[in-house]
Structure formats: C-alpha cells, structure tokens
Amino acid sequence: MRNITVNNITDAVVKSLGDDVPARNREIMASALKHMHDFCKDVNLTYDEWLEAMAWMRRAGDITDDARSEFILISDILGIEVLVDMLDKKVTDGETVSTVLGPFYRDNPPVLPNGATIVQKDFDGSQSVRVSGVIRATDGAPVAGVTVDVWEDAPNGMYEQQDPDQPDYNLRGRFETDENGRYEFVALRPVPYPIPYDGAAGELLNYMGHHPWRPGHIHFMIQKPGFKTLVSQIYDSETEYLDNDSVFAVKEELIGEMKPSSGDTDLEMAFDFTIRSDAKLGMAAE
C-alpha cells in the first residue's frame, strides 16, 4: 500500500505479515496490531505522549536485571499477569485455583521435614503461625510425596533477596506431603508489602493513581509428577488490601483464617489444596 492513511494503516501493517509466519504468530500479531491501533485512535494519542511512553519503556528496560523484572511488575499493575494466569489455568475439575507466581520465587529452597520452621531470623512483634493441611487429588484421595515450596515476606515487608539483613533463603522452605497427604510448617504471619515502586512500575502506579500495596500472603508452589503444578497464594483473612491488591491476585477461595493456636505457635492456619492430575489436562482440552 503506497498511500497510508489513518483509515488503512491497520490493514497495511496486518497485510505486511509474512506469508510463511506460523499461524499463532499471525493470530497474535493481527489482534495486537488491531487493538493497539484502535487504542491510539480511541484516545487520539499525541506524538509527545508516544515519545514519553517510549522513554518510560526505556527506563523499564534500564532498571531490569536478573534480580528484577520491571516488565513483570508493569504487567501485574495492569492486571495482565493474573488475567493470563486465569486464561491459561482454567479450573476444570474442582482443583484449587491458581494465582500469580510473582517476582520473588527462588528455586532450591531449604528442604525441611514436615512441621519445621522456615523462620531463620526473628523480628520484634511478629507472630508465628503453624500452617498445615492436606493435599488431595480431585477424587478426594490424599496425595503423598507432593513437593510443597513456600515463601513469604518478612515482617519488615521485604523478601530475603531484597534485604541484606536476612539470612539467605529466610522464610522459604520445601516440604513433602506424608502418606496421609499432609504438609505442615511454621512461618510468620505475613504482612502487606509494597511492590517495588522506585522505577517505571512506580511511575505507572502514580499515573494511574494506585497504591503499590499487596495484602499479606504466603506463596505456594505444589508439584508432583503426574499432576498439574499449582502455583498459588494463601491470604490472611485479617490483612489489609484484600479488596484492593495492587496486582489483582486475590481470590475468595484462597483466603485462610489464622486462629489463636493451642500449640507452640501464636497462631495456626489450616488450608487444604486440591490438585488436578495431568491426564485431565488432555481431557479438558478435547
């Protein structure tokens, strides 16, 4: 197309897609182009606004490194990570709902026996909580030998890799369910924390008039060969920000109750999970 206008630009770019690009590339790019062009037209985007957006993306790239992905944070603020998670991991068989992994997972946490504590450093005023439950298959049968990774922020609102004063892998652990499908560990009551807002993601929060806070939660990654990996978070029913999580990741069924404990911790919380067999994935897709 030689004479490009506001009315034919979208068609021109879509038609420019190579004849032999894979079908999925074509599907994604044709839709993305249409929506992006429509967006520019909808808001009558000015050249200065476009330039500012380009500079903002440059800043997002500049602050990104192995320990920090500004683009994931931006995606979170826009509700896109949680949307993609819901689209990609639809609940089909009564399994526990997933939610976002977030940027703070670390592989190879300390392998601990059931009932052990993940707390390597105490904080004044923190409350200990014994977290336990049963992991079941969708037919209700307990599943033994499930790997359960857990991680949470410290009472100062920081994950250990953000905080030079915490021991390596503090508040992280890897457990395995016993023959009755039970897992159990001791943690600290999780506190709300702000997602990092000193970079491009923070600029976007300001632009949108949003706060950076997340409700207190404990992360779980639950894995066993033959089952779909479940990545989720359990929220403290008494935490702030349950109704206005900065990354929109709260689900009602993931809210757990921390009750006063009769044992050696301040609190206890029971939370059971249901995981779906991998075989059901194929059936759901059919």
Report how far residue 38's alpha carbon sits from residue 74's, in angstroms, rounded to the nearest whole number: 21
Q: Which is nearer to Fe ion, 49 or 253 (CB)?
A: 253
165-204 positions binding Fe ion, by CB under 5 A: none
Report how far residue 74's alpha carbon sits from residue 118's, in angstroms, rounded to the nearest whole number: 30
Q: Who contacts 242 (Cβ-Cβ below 8 Å, separation ≥6)?
A: 215, 235, 250, 255
CB of 247 to Fe ion, least distance (A): 9
CB of 150 to Fe ion, least distance (A): 11
| Bridge-based pairing state of the strands 230-236 and 255-256 | parallel
Dmax of the chain from CA atoms?
A: 78
Q: Which is nearer to Fe ion, 46 or 156 (CB)?
A: 156
78-117 positions binding Fe ion, by CB under 5 A: 102
CB of 157 to Fe ion, least distance (A): 10
CB of 233 to Fe ion, least distance (A): 7
Q: Which residue is nearest to Fe ion (CB)?
A: 102
Count CA within 13 A, CB hemisphere, residue 71: 7
Q: Which is nearer to Fe ion, 10 or 126 (CB)?
A: 126
CB of 161 to Fe ion, least distance (A): 12
Binding characters for Fe ion, 35-54, by CB under 5 A (x = yes): --------------------
Report how far residue 231's alpha carbon sits from residue 5's, in angstroms, rounded to the nearest whole number: 46
Residue whose token pair is 């490194």: 65
Q: Which is nearer to Fe ion, 157 or 199 (CB)?
A: 157
Q: Which is nearer to Fe ion, 182 or 217 (CB)?
A: 217
Residue whose token pair is 């992280």: 172
Q: Is 262 exposed, middle or buried (0-12, 13-18, 19+ CB in 10 A)?
A: exposed
CB of 132 to Fe ion, least distance (A): 20
Report how far residue 184's alpha carbon sits from residue 148's, in angstroms, rounded to the nearest whole number: 10
Alpha helices of the chain — where are they, by DSSP H?
9-15, 23-42, 47-63, 70-77, 80-88, 200-208, 279-285
CB of 82 to Fe ion, least distance (A): 13
- The amino acid sitting at 213 is W
Q: Which is nearer to Fe ion, 194 or 199 (CB)?
A: 194
Report how far residue 129's alpha carbon sits from residue 264's, in angstroms, rounded to the nearest whole number: 9
Site size toward Fe ion (CB under 5 A) is: 1
Q: Which is nearer to Fe ion, 175 or 235 (CB)?
A: 235
CB of 195 to Fe ion, least distance (A): 9
Q: Which is nearer to Fe ion, 181 or 202 (CB)?
A: 202
Residues that bind Fe ion (CB under 5 A): 102
